Amino acid sequence: FWFIWDELATGALGAVVLADTRRLDRCFASIDFFERRGIPFVVGVNCFDGVQAYDVADIRRALHVTDLTPVLLCDVRARESCKEVLLVLLEHVLSLLGEPLA
């Protein structure tokens, strides 16, 4: 299973871990994978039907991610919301590289 992830992650600049607050425990393997390989990532918390069940700070604590890892609320069914998650990932990667976002 992990060898597929290794193949997919080869050369990746960053990643999005999509979280469902009803199943946060399923995110730990993905988070561990990217952390161990030093691949920057953001966490996109899918808010179904616009319902924000938990505060971002609570989700961050539950997932054990630092303040350096962006955690965003999103709706994966909405194009603009997905675009925002990808832009935050890009900004995060560039900030870790010390590159300004033009």
What pLDDT, in 10s, does the model give residues 21-78? 888 999 999 999 999 999 999 999 998 766 677 899 999 999 999 999 999 999 999 9
- Longest Cα pair distance anywhere in the chain, in angstroms? 38
Torsion, Cα 89 90 95 97, to 10 degrees, reads 110
Q: Is the pLDDT of residue 3 over 90?
A: no
When pLDDT is averaged across residues 69-92 and rounded to a whole number, the result is 95
Which of 2-6, 12-16, 45-49 has the highest average model confidence (pLDDT)? Answer: 12-16
Per-residue pLDDT at 50 = 65
For residue 63, the SS3 value is helix
pTM attached to this predicted model: 0.89
Tokens encoding 26: 């399923």
